[in-house]
Structure 1
Amino acid sequence: MTLLASNCENDPVDVLAGDWMSEGNMTVRAGTRVNGQMDAYEPTFLEALEPALPYIAKHRIKVAVNAGAADTKKLHEVVTKLVKAKGLDLSVAWISGDEVLPQLLEAQQRGDSPFENICTGEKLGDWQFEPIYAQAYLGGLGIAAAFAKGADVVVCGRVSDASPVIGAAYWWHNWRRSDLDQLANAFVAGHLSECSSYSTGGNYTGFKDLEPLGCSGGEVSVNTLTSQFLYEIQGPWYFNSDVTAILDDISFEHISTNRVALRGVKGDLPPPTTKAGITAKAIYQAEMHWFITGLDVAAKARMVETQIRTLLAPQISSFLHLDFQIIGSVPENPSNQNAATVDFRVVAQARRAEDLTPAKFVRPCIDPIMCAYPGATPHLDLRQAFPKEVFEYYVTLMPQSDLSHQAHLASGEIIDIAPPTETKTYPKHQPTQHVTANALDLTSFGQTVKAPLGAIVHARSGDKGSDCNVGFWVRYADEYSWLRSLLSSAFLKEYLLGDEYRGGRVERWEFEGLRAVHFLLKNHLDRGSI
């Protein structure tokens, strides 16, 4: 923030929009809020804001962020005090309405909705965990209303990742709710900027192309933006509380160095619902690691797993989850011991910390050492082997009309943000095409050599709850007919997922303007973010 704000005279900035929220810190901060151990907002926002404040005040830059996490009101108080301590003339507002556990549980008790998990199909009443906190994903119009009333800094909790950009654009351009194409373009712009350096080369499979830049300068290019675009989307329909972005005709155009145009985004009405994430009362997890080296890795793993299971038998019934994993692989002819070693991980979860005490978990995991496989070596750092809190996360939908979305101004005035009056109910699943239309015979492309798919194909994956997605794209137009003919849903299941495919629903879509094939894997991950 300081870099951008301090350079405002040379590179003008009207609004600084920041995204501090993820499903991971939603659950962690929810636990923090409930147990009261510490402040439940994101403290790294203050580290970014404090040195930038003099420049923000000098250049009258607006700020909108979702760093409030699970205690937006407290963050507002802290930021207000910080501004006053510096003697700056800045008005600080905050957004409420994302905390929804009471009305969600009341609606469930009334029978208004079963609150189905959008990843698993499970009903909330059948969930085996106890909800302690819930947050709905708000749109950006509360931010816009606060800016319009003179706020300089607006802090939010669980507005959607793109909502700070949507709110800023709505205010700046004086849009109306009916300006759907404009809102949709702001929405996608917010998606492209929400994870900061991801659009400039972070998590980019073409990272080697950035090595002349020292892998730190990054770049804004068609490929880096395609990578970020494909991150965490669900398909050609992209939903937000304010608008639905229709993405089937999206493309990027290179304009000049670090300048790329976004094309083809269309807007449609928002859904009547918005996503809500529910955090459950903490459970406990412990894990133990062994190192397996050399030949017969699978046999050695079977041996030590059998021994550990035998010793754990008296308390296995108290575990919610127990898993044995081989992490890594050994090459055919390794040249050193590190290359010949894999990590064997034992992980257990239980409702009570006392069910994972050292006597009940560490001892049974480590006692086989004298009778285990040859070269048996347990990890001697046992800090992860002691029980720690983890949180379950449940994703559902709730009506926008049930939310109390409000903007709280520095003056004490409260602005009510009404839900959208016009909405559209969309099918439960995204449009899907398991094979490309008019697929070509792969032998028609000429002679081939065996190589990793990543030798010529870029990819980017993401996760939302226990759903995950992955998009593949090629750099050149003449490669795309081959890519979409190759990447059918069946190919993904058999060759790319292999043993990881467990029969779940796969949705496939082609983004021709990006030369990309995208897959959504429903409920593919282990219960999502914990």
Structure 2
Amino acid sequence: MATANGPSNGHSNGASNGHQKRPVRIAGASGGFSDRQRAISSLAKLDIDVIVGDWLSECTMTLHGAQKVDNEKLRAAGKLMEEPIGLFDPTFIDNLSPALHDIQTKGIKVAVNAGASDTKLLAETVEAEVKRLGLDLKVAYVEGDEVTERVNQLIKQGEKFVSLMDGIELKDWGFTPIYAQCYLGGAGIAEALRAGADIVICGRVADAAPSVGAGMWWHGWDKEVDFDQIAGSLICGHLIECAAYVTGGYFSGFKRLIEQCENLGFPIAELYEDGSCVITKEANGTGGEVSVGTVASQLLYEIQGPLYYGSDVTALLEGIVMTQVGEDRVKVAGVKGRPPPRTTKVGLTAVGGYQAEFHVFICGLDLEAKAEWIERQIRYSAGDAAKELSCFNFTLNGYCPDNPRNQDVATCDLRVFVQTQNKSLVSKATLDVPGFNRWCMDNGLQGCPGWTLGNDQRQSEGKLYYEYYPTLLPQSEVQHRVILPWKNNKTIDIKPAAKMEEYQRDQPSYDTKDPIDLSKFGPCTRGPLGWIVGGRSGDKASDANIGFYVRKDDEWDWLRTVLSIDKIKELLEEEYKGGKVERFEIPGIRAVHFLLRDHLDRGFNSTSTYDTLGKNVCEYLRSKHVYLPNRFLHRGRF
């Protein structure tokens, strides 16, 4: 039998050996609430030491935070009669419970950010489940990420809280924050594990923080000096934080993995004492792969520049190197560390108003003219009421190919999207109530040829939406704490590193320093960039990041020469919003990275676009045509 404090598989751990030579094996069980529910149970059957997982995002944190505010209002009014739900990830217990027997028997540690806006309640729920199953596991939790009260105090004291996205001050945002939650690092998780915790429940720690905490605990790193090692663990955590993203999910080379795409394997990282790691995956008949391509893709996801900030350390990305060291095994090394920033990111949530949408389907020829006809009529029907809309967008989505093979492929969606603080304008999706739905319906019999409404009108009834404002909070203002319930709720205060640095909002940006004469690559064919270039993109509120990579060294010389800042602006065409574009290179994985400042329409919960998370910015750019060297094309396409 295992003890509650250590594994029973013959391995010592960081709690008893501060300089463990064996790497700690960390399994990534979740990248979000939409991940596979089998993960923890499957991974707990393997030879691993720690299971980590991420169930939160800016999207879910906004919703959980708003729900907590609503619950508090109901409780104050005496209308909340039972324990509230919806304040932490509702799928987590279903994922964890089947694995608890194996977790205890094998001495596996668990560290997750799933607590959202009530970490204590989730920890108590986990404790109750452990007892129900007759097990003996110690559950700790980390708090301090909720900073609403402190942020409001600082606002009253004149703190400007400048937006990380567009540089505006909070007073010019136009919305009133109702909730604030900041990002914590992994030091608290490490302390909880050192104190004997088996399961550590966190709220809004950074996505990579559970792996950082596991590495600090296992290897006994000193957070004041071991910046290179901790930086390596930060990048290791980043690579496995999104689960199957690093084993074939969202991979540009997905077509070669399609025969076993039904059940991609979850990742396992072997994190070494020097901060390097090897990324591998569960086998057991699962699909996907771990290759330099899949790992490079995940590295490029949601980074913001050559510096990767965490509350514990700052990692330098430009020197990273990836090497295929075996089947489904990629070594990641070369990460250097600098002291952490004096600040941490904090997200402010505000009620934005109400939004609704209406869809008209049109088909065949003259689509742009038909869309203009519909837009003119709907704007006419709205009249002066349109002045009360903060957003009134018409987007024609899709196209009709030449000589279409069937009617569906020739059909396009004209989406009408509105946002307003006047709920009455979008209050009902019925024909007899003045407002948005009626403006659209008014024109059915005056419509363009083929005007067809969608058969689900519920979308035209307004739903509440929230605005999200990312800014910075000094780490000195954060009360990072670990709570140990089995020790009479003993509290451990986690202080930030004594040595921290001030970093500029804008990171270093540059075009390639030694471009190659493109004529040396010989004859070319004009075609999609994605025929030979892989990539990944993502969002951080309204910023979009895109990373592109190639497979061969001579392709790298071509890529870094072709993909300049001006070239990206050109390829974006109508999508370029005029914002700043930042660029840097990672030679060790043959990659060029771009950050498009304020490119997206706000964040997930308020955007008016289809690409709510920025994931299709890369796919759009990979479809754009450039001149591709024929010798690269002869090697085969992605």
Where on the TM-score scale, by shorter chain, does this alignment land: which range? over 0.9
User: Counterpart in 2 of 1:483?
Assistant: 559
Deviations 1:224-270 (A, max 9, x none): 00110000001110000000000111121000001110021000000
User: Counterpart in 2 of 1:190?
Assistant: 237
SS at match of 1:31: helix
CA distance in 1, matches of 2:61, 2:516: 45
Deviation at 1:444, TM superposition (A): 2.7
How do residues 59-458 of structure 1 correspond to structure 2 at under 5 angstroms?
A: 59-111=106-158, 113-177=159-223, 178-214=225-261, 216=263, 217-358=287-428, 359-410=434-485, 411=487, 412-433=489-510, 435-458=511-534
- C-alpha change, 1:284 and 1:6, in structure 2 (3 Å) is closer
CA contact (8 A) 2:41 2:98 kept: no
Q: Which amino acid aligns with 1:31?
A: A
CA distance in 1, matches of 2:405, 2:44: 54
Deviations 1:447-473 (A, max 9, x none): 111111111110100100100100111
Of structures 1 and 2, the one scoring higher in RCO (CA 8 A, sep 6+) is: 1
CA distance in 2, matches of 1:75, 1:152: 15
Q: How many corresponding residue pairs? A: 526
SS at match of 1:70: coil
Q: Which amino acid aligns with 1:26?
A: M
CA contact (8 A) 1:39 1:71 kept: no
Seq. identity, %: 47
Q: TM-score, normalised by structure 2?
A: 0.81
SS at match of 2:404: coil
Deviation at 1:3, TM superposition (A): 5.8
Q: Of the candidates 55, 59, 65, which is equivalent to residue 20 of structure 1?
A: 55
CA distance in 2, matches of 1:440, 1:305: 48
CA distance in 2, matches of 1:454, 1:444: 21
Q: Of the candidates 543, 546, 549, which is equivalent to residue 473 of structure 1?
A: 549
CA contact (8 A) 1:283 1:349 kept: yes
SS at match of 1:224: helix
CA distance in 1, matches of 2:395, 2:439: 17
In structure 2, the gaps of 5 or more residues are: 1-28, 30-37, 72-83, 264-286, 429-433, 606-638
CA contact (8 A) 2:341 2:501 kept: yes
CA contact (8 A) 1:131 1:279 kept: yes
Deviation at 1:214, TM superposition (A): 4.3
Deviation at 1:28, TM superposition (A): 1.3
- C-alpha change, 1:484 and 1:136, in structure 2 (3 Å) is same
CA distance in 1, matches of 2:425, 2:497: 48
SS at match of 2:527: coil
Deviation at 1:440, TM superposition (A): 2.3
CA contact (8 A) 1:31 1:282 kept: no
Deviation at 1:443, TM superposition (A): 2.8
CA distance in 1, matches of 2:352, 2:105: 45
Deviation at 1:492, TM superposition (A): 0.5
SS at match of 1:54: helix
CA contact (8 A) 1:40 1:71 kept: yes
SS at match of 1:490: helix
User: Counterpart in 1 of 2:34?
Assistant: none
User: Counterpart in 1 of 2:594?
Assistant: 519
Task: Between 181-190 and 80-89, report the one with greater CA deviation.
Answer: 80-89
Which 4+ stretches in 1 moved above 6 angstroms? none
CA distance in 2, matches of 1:237, 1:401: 21
User: Counterpart in 2 of 1:31?
Assistant: 66
CA distance in 2, matches of 1:272, 1:22: 23
CA distance in 2, matches of 1:218, 1:448: 33
CA distance in 2, matches of 1:366, 1:23: 35
Deviation at 1:441, TM superposition (A): 3.0
Deviations 1:107-148 (A, max 9, x none): 12112x310000011111111112111100000111111111
User: Counterpart in 1 of 2:6?
Assistant: none
- C-alpha change, 1:276 and 1:4, in structure 2 (3 Å) is closer
SS at match of 2:91: helix
CA contact (8 A) 1:334 1:340 kept: yes
CA distance in 2, matches of 1:394, 1:187: 25
Task: Between 281-290 and 460-469, report the one with greater CA deviation.
Answer: 281-290
Deviations 1:52-108 (A, max 9, x none): 111111111111000001111111111111111111100111111000111112112
In structure 1, the gaps of 5 or more residues are: none
CA contact (8 A) 1:4 1:13 kept: no
Q: Which amino acid aligns with 2:483?
A: H
